[in-house]
């Protein structure tokens, strides 16, 4: 939408405030165009917009690009992201456009079988075009009331105790109570905030794309077999329709914003494989490096960062999009609680406390994987050793849970091992557990029939099911599916309800 149209588009009507919702701004204070402005409508921004709308938060998303990207890159949704999509009722739509493959062999591309009995109802990777993911998530967000405005660059921001003011490239200013930067590795929001982004610059660069080839699959296979052990960053995978996915090392490190050309790909193929395989007619081309950086802070006052705006790393293991979507689901209900007025004072700070260590772990495992892809004798010795170790189920399971993020456990204090972990989708009375989390509310899963959530019923649902397949009497689930409490004592439960969902009403 053009900026002139955007400037004259009125904000959505305010939702009816929940109990405890802050009063309207005093006369003379600038009104808010939205409760939350999100900068960037990639997977993270779109998912966050939808999460906020589940709690009737007024959301406005500002996207720099006027049109969706034409680059049809296939991404992999890992187990934890698939689970989150199932929780929100989105998985069937994604399945229509994706292809499943076993959840195995992710770590440094070391061949391994799927670990037996992986703790999930969705033990697979879902390969799907990234533009499809973005489109479906944006449609989901707008379908439940989020506003998305394309072609609206943000060039300035400032904040005070009541909100954040945003300046657009055309000079218009907008105001919200909070702002979240989901605008990628070159985040304008992060730079305007002055948040440090320490780490390592790119040392290597890789070209990737899908294109037609001029030789048969048999000739491709024979050529690859004759190469012995080429660079581990080189692969050429036929699709069966006369096209291939090509991954090949670049000659050096350049500006990632400049897409490669087919001539550059041909030149690099000849250098690595001795032939360019007659590649032509690219469907899409991109370049990626191994830069690794983590934001010093995820929150400065009323401005927060999520997704690539907070962390970047090499794409090996396919964790980037997944990490951002998981950021959004962790942040959404906490920020909504802040806006709606029920959040405990420390709740929003737990977003950084929980998600920054997860990102740091992803950065470390991608650093390790990158080293294992190098041709140095030391790295290859370690790779051979790790290949031996992955043959042990415990090692294979640990690495798979790390990459797929189902091994994440937030530090919620002392307690049983289940505390802080996500609970898998299990059968419960009248369906599946994840179906009960579709509206983004907390859930008490009660096998005793003796507990209750009186006073929190506007934020937390209660399911009594003595037959639930659960190794605990009762669990309190947060809206992101992580276990916030385990036990069978009402007073202890009330303390944890207050910790995560604020004071009771009534």
Residue ranges covered by each domain of the chain? 1-19+31-203+291-375, 205-289, 427-501
Helices (H), 13-63: 43-53
Q: Are 78 and 405 in contact (CB under 8 A)?
A: yes
Q: Are 157 and 280 in contact (CB under 8 A)?
A: no
Q: Report the relative pairing of strands 280-289 and 205-212 from DSSP bridges.
A: antiparallel
Q: What is the pLDDT of residue 4?
A: 27
Q: What is the pLDDT of residue 26?
A: 40
Closest among 471, 34, 127, 112 to 322, alpha carbons compared = 127
Cα distance between residue 481 and residue 490, in whole Å: 21
Q: Are 294 and 358 in contact (CB under 8 A)?
A: no
3-state helix vs strand vs coil in the chain, percent to 5: 35, 25, 45
Closest among 286, 225, 295 to 257, alpha carbons compared = 286
φ/ψ (deg, to 5) at 91: -70, -40
Which class would CATH give 427-501? alpha beta
Cα distance between residue 380 and residue 311, in whole Å: 28
Q: What is 1-19+31-203+291-375's CATH superfamily?
A: FAD/NAD(P)-binding domain (3.50.50.60)
Cα distance between residue 107 and residue 85, in whole Å: 23
Cα distance between residue 155 and residue 178, in whole Å: 17
Chain Cα centroid distance, residue 150 = 21
Q: What is the pLDDT of residue 6?
A: 25
Neighbours of 69 (CB within 10 A): 13
pLDDT 10s per residue in the chain (506 long)? 333 222 222 233 333 333 333 333 444 444 899 999 999 999 999 999 999 999 999 999 999 999 876 666 778 999 999 999 999 999 999 999 999 999 999 999 899 999 999 999 999 999 998 999 999 999 999 999 999 999 999 999 999 999 999 999 999 999 999 999 999 999 999 999 999 999 999 888 889 888 999 998 889 889 888 887 666 778 888 876 778 889 999 988 887 778 899 999 999 999 999 999 999 999 888 888 889 999 999 999 999 999 999 999 998 899 999 999 999 999 999 999 999 999 999 999 999 999 999 999 999 999 999 899 888 899 999 999 999 999 999 999 999 999 999 999 999 999 999 999 999 999 998 899 999 999 999 999 999 999 999 999 999 999 999 999 999 999 999 999 999 999 999 999 999 999 999 999 97
φ/ψ (deg, to 5) at 404: -85, -5
Which class would CATH give 205-289? alpha beta
Q: What is the pLDDT of residue 258?
A: 81
Cα distance between residue 143 and residue 93, in whole Å: 14
Q: Are 40 and 185 in contact (CB under 8 A)?
A: no
Q: Fill in the DSSP letter of residue 437.
A: G
Q: Are 384 and 232 in contact (CB under 8 A)?
A: no
């Amino acid at each position: 939408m053009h900026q002139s149209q955007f400037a004259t588009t009125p904000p959505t009507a305010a939702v009816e405030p929940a109990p405890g919702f802050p009063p309207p701004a005093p006369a003379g204070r600038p009104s808010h165009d939205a409760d939350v402005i999100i900068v960037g409508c990639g997977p993270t921004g779109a998912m966050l917009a939808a999460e906020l709308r589940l709690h009737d938060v007024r959301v406005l998303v500002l996207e720099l690009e006027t049109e969706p990207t034409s680059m049809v890159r296939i991404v992999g949704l890992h187990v934890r992201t698939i689970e989150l999509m199932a929780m929100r009722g989105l998985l069937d739509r994604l399945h229509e456009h994706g292809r499943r493959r076993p959840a195995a062999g992710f770590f440094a591309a070391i061949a391994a079988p799927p670990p037996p009995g992986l703790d999930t109802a969705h033990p697979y990777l879902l390969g799907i075009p990234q533009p499809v993911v973005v489109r479906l998530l944006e449609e989901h967000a707008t379908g439940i009331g989020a506003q998305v405005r394309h072609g609206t660059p943000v060039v300035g921001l400032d904040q005070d105790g009541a909100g954040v003011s945003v300046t657009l490239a055309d000079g218009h200013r907008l105001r919200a109570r909070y702002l979240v930067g989901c605008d990628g590795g070159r985040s304008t929001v992060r730079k305007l905030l002055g948040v440090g982004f320490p780490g390592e610059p790119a040392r290597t660069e890789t070209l990737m794309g899908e294109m037609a080839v001029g030789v048969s699959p048999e000739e491709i296979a024979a050529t690859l077999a004759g190469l012995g052990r080429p660079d581990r960053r080189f692969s050429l995978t036929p699709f069966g329709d006369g096209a291939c996915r090509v991954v090949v090392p670049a000659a050096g490190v350049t500006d990632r914003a400049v897409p490669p050309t087919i001539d550059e790909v041909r030149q690099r193929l000849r250098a690595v494989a001795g032939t360019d395989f007659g590649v032509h007619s690219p469907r899409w081309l991109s370049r990626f490096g191994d830069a690794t950086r983590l934001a010093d802070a995820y929150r400065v006052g009323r401005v927060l960062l999520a997704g690539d705006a907070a962390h970047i790393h090499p794409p090996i293991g396919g964790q980037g999009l997944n990490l951002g979507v998981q950021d959004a689901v962790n942040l959404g209900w906490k920020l909504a609680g802040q806006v709606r007025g029920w959040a405990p004072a420390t709740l929003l700070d737990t977003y950084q406390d929980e998600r920054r260590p997860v990102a740091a772990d992803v950065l470390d495992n991608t650093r390790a994987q990158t080293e294992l892809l190098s041709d140095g004798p030391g790295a290859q010795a370690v790779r051979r050793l790790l290949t031996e170790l992955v043959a042990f189920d415990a090692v294979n399971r640990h690495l798979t849970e790390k990459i797929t993020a189902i091994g994440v456990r937030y530090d919620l204090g002392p307690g049983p091992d289940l505390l802080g972990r996500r609970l898998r989708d299990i059968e419960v009375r009248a369906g599946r557990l994840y179906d009960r989390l579709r509206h983004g509310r907390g859930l008490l899963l009660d096998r005793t029939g003796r507990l209750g959530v009186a006073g929190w019923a506007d934020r937390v649902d209660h399911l009594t099911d003595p037959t639930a397949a659960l190794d605990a009497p009762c669990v309190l689930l947060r809206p992101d599916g992580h276990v916030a409490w385990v036990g069978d004592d009402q007073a202890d439960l009330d303390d944890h309800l207050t910790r995560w969902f604020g004071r009771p009403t009534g």
